[in-house]
Amino acid sequence: ILILHYGTTEELAERIRAKGFGPSNVQTGTLGRGVYLFRHKEQAVLHGGSSVQVRVRMHKIKRITHKGGLQTSWNKEGYDTAWIPAKNTHIGTGQEEICVWDPAQVTVYEKR
């Protein structure tokens, strides 16, 4: 279990705090469909202006270091989480990315 941050708008952050996470329909992220999370709140806030602190259960994590391969199909191989390490210059932005396939693995952790 890790405590991470999800970046979004304040309006959607309030909805998530009230109702939790739902299925993702976004297919355009570096790692395909899923809930994108960050270790640092400052990085999460860059993705919408607000963040929600979450608790995440990860079981089988696929480390992604190059384009292609399992970059967007990792879940079909039995992985529930994909991870691009920080400072990876072959894929993504060079910042760490964590993507969890099933939103049921992500629960709101922060106290209001």
Amino acid 67: pLDDT: 84
pTM of structure: 0.90
The confidence band for 112, taking pLDDT boundaries of 50, 70 and 90, is low
Nearest to 29 by CA among 104, 105, 82: 82
Nearest to 2 by CA among 47, 54, 44: 54
Under 8 Å between Cβ of 37 and 56: yes
> How does pLDDT run across 70-96, given as a tens digit for each residue?
899 999 999 999 999 998 877 777 889
Task: Give the whole-angstrom CA distance, residue 47 versus residue 54.
Answer: 15
Amino acid 13: pLDDT: 95
Mapping DSSP to helix (H, G, I), strand (E, B) and coil, where does residue 43 land?
helix
Task: Give the whole-angstrom CA distance, residue 100 versus residue 56.
Answer: 8
> How does pLDDT run across 2-57, given as a tens digit for each residue?
999 999 999 999 999 999 998 766 667 889 889 999 999 999 999 899 999 999 99
Q: Name, in order, each residue with C-beta under 8 angstroms of 64's C-beta and a sequence gap of 6 or more.
A: 31, 70, 71, 74, 82, 83, 84, 91
